[in-house]
Amino acid sequence: MIKFNISPVDKSQQEAITAKIDNLTKPKGSLGRLEELAARLCMIQKTLSPELRSPHNVLFAADHGIIEEGVSVSPKEVTWQQLSHFSKGGAGINFLCEQHGFRLVLVDAGVDYDIPAGHGIVDMKVGRGTKNFLYGPAMSIEEMNLCLERGAEIVEQIYRETGCNIISFGEMGSGNTSPSAIWMHLFTGIELEKCIGAGAGLDRPGIRHKYEVLAKAVSNYSGGDSIEAKIVWFGGYEMVMAMGAMLKSAELGMTIIVDGFIMTSVILAASQLYPDIMDYAIFGHQGDESGHKLMLDAMGVKALLHLDLRLGEGSGAVCAYPIIDSAVRMINNMDSFQSVNVTKYF
């Protein structure tokens, strides 16, 4: 398996960071989570004056064999149709990236369709969709490694060519809330039924059917106790590729803005292998998918926003970016009490 060298963030300047934030012209702690974010960015970047450079949102797309069991209202062809739509602009993630200054990178991780060249979509296809994990592993260990390597390669290229130091990840893949729910169940111990929601819009009977299918899939599992085995059995190509991208981002000292339910399950799985990845993660949005708050709580984190989004694509992460930008502007642009001769009033 590909290895990553992820170090915990440097906390040697923590006292100096706290002193700088506390001596800005405001009551101590009055800017709440902006102060927490600023401190996190300082530690990630090893500086008292952090900056945000060339934000990117990388969207990985792939298909899932489990969709054959009727666990999603979205037919499989929606994956490639939406990926093509993203490449032309006009989708949800397109206007958000344009609004907030993100470059959108589209990656075919394993779509069950031959997308023509020339559409600006990076071809990293590992296969034409995963196998149906109700009956066996979704992918091979070799495919998992290839996904990790290709996700890491995408981030390495972005970092080298643009100097990007803050990045978010999104996904497109009909049925991908199902593997995400199972990862959540396996890696948190939360009851499977509490991990399963409506996905793209299942009704109550549809959610019950989804639970029955996934419960049977879990009971059929015979892959062993290792984290890698569980990733291989239930994962999606786009999810494991995003995992490799997140791990490489942390290795490079980049800040990761985590999107909704699916990307949270991805970083949850990544953290089972490399716990220090959590030092580099800012959770952008608590989605509307049932179970997302439970997963965030189990990880001991809190999202910046709760807008009831369930679009995916990286939308919640990109929406959260201006708050992170505000934290940077706070620590860099606010005066200190000493610099303007204002008496501390707390």
Half-sphere exposure of 76 (CA within 13 A, CB side): 16
Q: Provide the token pair at 345.
A: 């009033």
Distance (Å, whole) CA 306 – CA 230: 30
Residue 188: other Cβ atoms inside 10 A: 18
CB atoms within 10 A of CB 86: 24
| The token pair that represents 263 in the structure block | 């990307």
Which H helix or E strand runs over 220? Answer: helix 204-220
Cα 162 to its chain centre, rounded Å, is 20
Among the listed residues 35, 238, 289, 313, the single catalytic one is 313
* Strands, sheet with 121-123, edge to edge from the N-terminal-most edge strand: 121-123, 103-110, 56-62, 166-172, 255-258, 281-283
The label of the residue with tokens 């490799």 reads 244
CA–CA separation, 200 vs 72, rounded Å?
A: 7
Q: How distant, in Å, are the alpha carbons of 22, 31, 266 from that of 344?
A: 10, 15, 44
162 by DSSP, 3-state: which?
A: helix
Active site residue 313: yes
Distance, CA of 262 to CA of 171 (rounded, Å): 8
SS3 at position 283: strand
Q: Is 256 helix (H, G, I), strand (E, B) or coil?
A: strand
Can you spell out the DSSP letters for 48-112? SS----S-EEEEEEE--GGGGGS--SS-THHHHHHHHHHHHS-SHHHHHHHHHTPEEEEEEEE-S
Cα distance between residue 173 and residue 67, in whole Å? 10
Which residues contact residue 118 at a Cβ distance below 8 angstroms, ignoring those fewer than 6 apart? none
Q: Taking the CB of residue 261, how many other CB atoms lie within 10 A of it?
A: 30
For residue 303, the Cα-to-chain-centroid distance in whole angstroms is: 12
Catalytic residues: 313
